[in-house]
Amino acid sequence: MNLKPVLILLGLALATIFALVCVLLTRERSPRTCQHLPPEQEDTEDGQSLVFADLSAEEMSQVVRYLQGHLGVPLVEASRAKPSENCIAWLDVQVPAKAEVLRFLDAGGARPPREALAVLYFGKQPEPNITELVVGPLPRPAYHRDVTVHKYGGKVPYHRRPTLAVEYKQIGGFLKSQVFPSAPAFMQQVMEYDGANLATVTAAPRGFQSGDRVTWFVLFQNVSGFFLHPVGLEVLVDHSSLDISEWAVSRVFYNGQYYRDMVQLESAYMQGRISVEKVRKAPRDGDFSSMKPRAPAAAPFPLQFEPQGPRYRVRNNQVLFQGWSFAFGMSVSRGLRLFDIRHKGERVAYEISVQEALSVYGSNCPAGMSTRYMDGSFGLGRYASPLVPGVDCPYLATFVDTLSLSDSLRPKKRKASLCIFEQNLGSPLRRHYSNLQSLYYGGLVNSALVLRSIATVGNYDYVWDFIFYQNGALEGKVQATGYPSSSFLHGDGLRYGNRLWEHTLGTIHTHFVNYKVDLDVAGVKNSLMAHDMVFEMTQAPWSPEQQIERPRLTKRVLDTEDQAAFLLHSKMPRYIYFAANSKNKWGHQRGYRIQITSSAGDHIPEASSMERAISWARYQLAVTRRKEEEPTSTSIYNQNDPWTPTVAFADFINNETITNEDLVAWITAGFLHIPHSEDIPNTVTVGNSVGFLLRPYNYYDLDPSIYSQDGVFFTSEQDFTACEINPLACLPKTASCLPNFPPFTFDGFRNMSRL
């Protein structure tokens, strides 16, 4: 018998058996797919949070149809409107008065009627103006009322209107068709202009006095990261006339010299009387300004996942997490905002919202030296950016779409423009290791919920966060990134910044952000308290001949708005808090402390003709009585007329009594930015983060996080490797699962579509 075939068959059989055993063993060891369990917190969503909800697409469409049919004037779509025509600039929800909302939420009162706020530009009227109309009730509008005079004390002049995208487009057409052709040799030989290789950036405000609408436009090479590619040419355009044919050039600047217009610049160039600084043509990708990685991809960066699914709930516009609940929304102009913020079922704040982001620039070029951007006028919510999973937010975050209607008659959906996630911050919220007397360890991981949006306003990207901690603290934070703004480097430019590239001056500028914080600590009526310390000299009781310097607590009630207004760099009490009328178990007034994180530059001098428009930035903190007629610290109309501000925050502070009143804290944080070579190609968020914390101060009888289910405690006498003793010991079992990472998607490049 031939044994060779038998041996071959036997070998194949053994190999097959071995392979099957390996597969079975591997399958047993393979982690299972993570199973999502419902959050422990009870879902209390009952629709009440919808009283704060942003407008739906259907509501926006209904408001537009109502306005088209009931105003008796033609309304042109804003995306193609001339300055001399009427249009709807934008819509937003009209949040009801606080008293109405609280009656509904807390006292079983009727749900307030749902209304929209419509901002209209009436250019085709004998007296062109901006009008604000409240339209309701939604979803089937039947009335409107003009609230402009009530809100602002009079009509809003037309020249104050925020600039629509179509107006920038019209100015671009004016430059291309009329301005640049008047200097053909200069534009062709120096700028190498081909009709598409130059980009413009606007300065603001627009002039020197009320009524002006005269804007400097800076020219850059139209490449990726064009903000870093100035070509030395800036044009001052007078676009104050409602007749586009009457627009004109008021001045031209090139490489340190001013000219009456492009014709004079062309004449000087042809006669050889100007100093030409020809800029090397940049490739389409921008070269040094490109954000394309300079290194190949390697091992993936660390990722977080939730072994049993998210521990928070998102229902409509409400979030619930570890004792927290709040409603969220997105204002077209001011961006991210929260309402009805509760911890352990008790309201701690009625509203927390972004108010404004301000940048004041310096330069030896005209646009740079005159720029004071008030980004709310451009729209912190309108320019909410689509978020990239894995970079802008954790890959497994919950992404939320937002809607807006601006520059159009149709609503626009911004896909994934908000994200919500729980984040393990990689450090303990609290801990102690005891190696004296008894041996034990106790601690709690610092895991917090984050609500985030990112607004891209021109060159800058603002990362807006609200963060909710398990100890009852809440943080508002903004991080700045994006491209630094730049001027053309010439003359004494280094007095105003650092050289970033051959012709690029990174210009010095300040960043200020303002928040509204309407705390309601154990009720609407609060007082403002200040605690701090002094050293006092005392005799040692057991040795009277010796002296001891000891810290002593100081206490003060801040009775008036003037006492509660702290100028930007003035000394402020280290502990300043809203105090309730009730007390905790230990006899202390329950409170929430305000703690500001800021490294702000200097505020513009109060003698400046435009300072009142940004007077909120005078103060690091100002606490005022809450008033319905003082809903915001600024106005979108201040940008284009800061000399006669529509809203001047300084007027809010008039020494009224603030003891046992409904109070609002207006918080300003900021930083000074002197761009440097490491800002190329892009400014990083590290070190560019400011904001505030709201921390319970005797609000509870003890730290509420002691009731967190994430707590860890074990002693030397316990088996800390056992699951029932130490939840960390369970992780090999509870966290050994495969998270479901969905395919990567991003709709940002299709994000301009209308519904």
Q: Would you please indicate which residues are annotated as catalytic (active-site) residues?
A: 375, 460
- For 662, the 3-state DSSP assignment is strand
Say if strands 689-697 and 474-482 run parallel, antiparallel, or are unpaired.
antiparallel
Write out the two tokens for 414: 């911004």
510 vs 360: CA distance, rounded Å: 5
State how far the alpha carbon of 312 is from the alpha carbons of 415, 469, 518, in Å: 21, 13, 24
Residue 154: other Cβ atoms inside 10 A: 10
State how far the alpha carbon of 646 is from the alpha carbons of 94, 202, 332, 639, 642, in Å: 19, 22, 18, 10, 8
573 vs 135: CA distance, rounded Å: 45
91 vs 381: CA distance, rounded Å: 12
Query: Is residue 431 a contact partner of residue 706, using CB atoms and an 8 Å limit?
Result: no
500 vs 675: CA distance, rounded Å: 8
615 vs 605: CA distance, rounded Å: 10
- Give the DSSP H/E element, type plus range, for residue 545: strand 543-558
Query: Is residue 312 a contact partner of residue 328, using CB atoms and an 8 Å limit?
Result: no
Rounded (5°) CA angle 248-129-93: 120
Residue 102: closest CA among 279, 458, 347, 337: 347
208 vs 211: CA distance, rounded Å: 9
**Complete DSSP assignment for 613-652:** GGGGGGEEEEEEE--TT---SS-TTSTT-TTS-SS-GGGG
Residue 250: other Cβ atoms inside 10 A: 14
